[in-house]
Amino acid sequence: MSSDMILSLSAVVAAYVSMVKAFGMPVKYASLVALAFAAFFVLTPGTWREAATTISIIGLSASGLYEINKKKSTGGSK
């Protein structure tokens, strides 16, 4: 698993934990829920993981829980 994929998945897991907390989960369980979501993404076979990641990013983005901010390289100084 590449470092870019790990960074993307950590943001997805954080978004899922935020969603679960919004539904009323006690904060003391947030770490366990994060580990469960992380285990799902790490232990799921490649093709299924890619599909689950894509679905998660699209769904969480649409709900406003996940945002992708990419810097554009302009070649000049800002």
25-58 pLDDT, tens per residue? Answer: 999 999 999 999 999 999 999 899 999 999 999 9
Phi, psi of 59 (to 5 degrees): -65, -45
| Segment 2-19 mean pLDDT | 89
Q: What is the pLDDT of residue 70?
A: 42
Tell me if the pTM is above 0.85: no
Q: How far out from the chain centre does Cα 16 lie?
A: 7
How far apart are alpha carbons 70 and 75 in whole angstroms? 15
* DSSP per-residue letters across 19-54: HHHHTT--GGGHHHHHHHHHHHHHHS-HHHHHHHHH
